[in-house]
Structure 1
Amino acid sequence: MIKTILKKKHIDKLSKYGLDANHLKQCTIFRFAPGETIYQEDFPITWLGIVVDGKAKVCCSSANGKNLVLCYFVSTGTIGGIELMANQNYATASLIATTDFECIAIPFEGNEKILRDNNKFLNRLCYELSTNLVNSSSNFVTSALHTGEQRLCSYIIESSHNNVFNDVLTDVACSIGLSYRHLNRLLTQLCHENILAKENYGYRIKNMKLLIKNMKLLIKKAEDARCKLISS
């Protein structure tokens, strides 16, 4: 992680949340490299973040130690808002950068009252938390009703950066509810279809349009099959 000072674009970003950088204490910029942990589940959390650029994966460890993606990816909005509103001093989930990730870090200490007394900030935060809840519910339905291939295609689309998919495959398998062996079979199939290409650094998406089309086609087939089952 690299710390830097606020620039004009960060001050402008804060103003969209109704926050004045001059009134915040020790506000700074955090930059994370891909793979770095931003928040660690069950570890102390001391700051609220406003995303400036990049993408990160939200995940929670189950009792058996496997990682389950809760709402897939964060690329806008705030992080640490749940902990702030719930008065929790530990992270409820892990947040891991999947690309270069930059955020404005606002320490809870010395700023909590400023944040809680700011109606514009609270309204914006509540809207974002509600949106995340809706997205999480949608992802749960997707995991429950869609096939493994559908979930994999959706995951690749969400997690790829510059047409490169290079997540840790054991984590991907746990995240979308597949065995590691089945995941590899599906990835091999996508390579045979010239949708992906295996590279040393992971997988390169050769045809994003076809990947999206493939996902939509699979979803349509599943919906048709479900409707046929209901009608019978």
Structure 2
Amino acid sequence: MKEIYNDDLKKQLIRDSGYLGRFSVAVERATHLFHIAAGDYIVEEGAQPVWLFYLVRGRAKLYATLPNGRVSLIDFFGASCFIGEIELVDTRHEPRAVQAIEECWCLTLPMKSFRPQLLNDVTFLRNLCIALSRKNYRNIVSLTQNQSFPLTNRLAAFILLTQHGELYQEKHTQAAEYMGVSYRHLLYVIAQFTRDGLLQKKKTGYAISNKQALFTLALAMDPERNFSALLT
């Protein structure tokens, strides 16, 4: 993660993302701009974030290490959204790891100095409540989809969520756990996608050969397109 000192780019991202509308307090002068390369961490697990992040470009994933040592995927983030807002509100919350799936750009505010202002900012808190309610709704729908749709649809969506540069590289154990299926069942469907020409096996993962077919399978679970923005 690297801070970028480019006022023109920062002003453009502030304007294009509607960032200032998330607050009623003056934040522009105190806002910093960070670039996070694919695979780098926005928040490290167990380390209280120094910054409140506002993701304006890119996608990231949230995961946690369980007591038995297994790593469990929890959620995915797409622009525009806050990252670190739970730690802002609850200082006792144990931070989970947030890792960039692809190149990410974040506008940030120093957590410590802005916490008192933000926790008394009605506009910010209202936007935060809306964002958290939408995230909760998305998670409920995701749980329903896991119970109602075959793995072919769910895996197609998962591949689109996690791919970077048209390459899918997630660990099979984590993917199977996230979707609540057996390792063997997951490998069977991946093999089916490969036979049908949707994926192509590479040394470093699976290249996406037919993205439109994956979109068709994924969007069958999302007819109202409530979550399809995360798949782009």
TM-score tier (shorter): 0.7 to 0.9
Which of 56, 68, 73 in structure 2 is aligned with 1:69? 73
Q: Secondary structure at the match of 2:98?
A: strand
After TM superposition, the score normalised by the length of structure 2 is: 0.80
Report how far residue 85 of structure 1 moved.
2.0
**Alignment deviations for residues 53-93 of structure 1 (CA, whole Å, 9 cap, x no partner):** 110011233333333332333332111112212233641x2
Task: Give the distance between the partners of 1:106 and 1:95, measured in 2 at CA.
Answer: 17
Report how far residue 50 of structure 1 moved.
0.4
Report how far residue 194 of structure 1 moved.
0.8
Residue in 2 that maps onto 1:87: 91
The 1:146/1:68 distance shift into structure 2, 3 A limit, reads farther
Q: How does 1:193-232 map to 2 (within 5 A)?
A: 193-215=196-218
Which of 26, 29, 33 in structure 2 is aligned with 1:20? 26
Whether the 8 Å CA contact 1:195–1:207 is kept in 2: the answer is yes
Residue in 1 that maps onto 2:52: 48
Q: How does 1:4-153 map to 2 (within 5 A)?
A: 4-5=4-5, 6=7, 7-12=10-15, 13-18=18-23, 19-22=25-28, 24=30, 27-88=31-92, 90-91=94-95, 93-153=96-156
RMSD: 2.7
Residue in 1 that maps onto 2:170: 167
Report how far residue 22 of structure 1 moved.
4.8
Whether the 8 Å CA contact 2:36–2:104 is kept in 1: the answer is yes
Residue in 2 that maps onto 1:154: 157
Task: Give the distance between the partners of 1:68 and 1:203, measured in 2 at CA.
Answer: 21
Task: Give the distance between the partners of 1:214 and 1:36, measured in 2 at CA.
Answer: 30
Q: Counterpart of 1:119 in structure 2: which amino acid?
A: V
Q: Secondary structure at the match of 1:71?
A: strand
Matched, 1:3 2:3: yes
**Alignment deviations for residues 155-184 of structure 1 (CA, whole Å, 9 cap, x no partner):** 012222443322233432332234444433
Bigger-Rg structure (1/2): 1
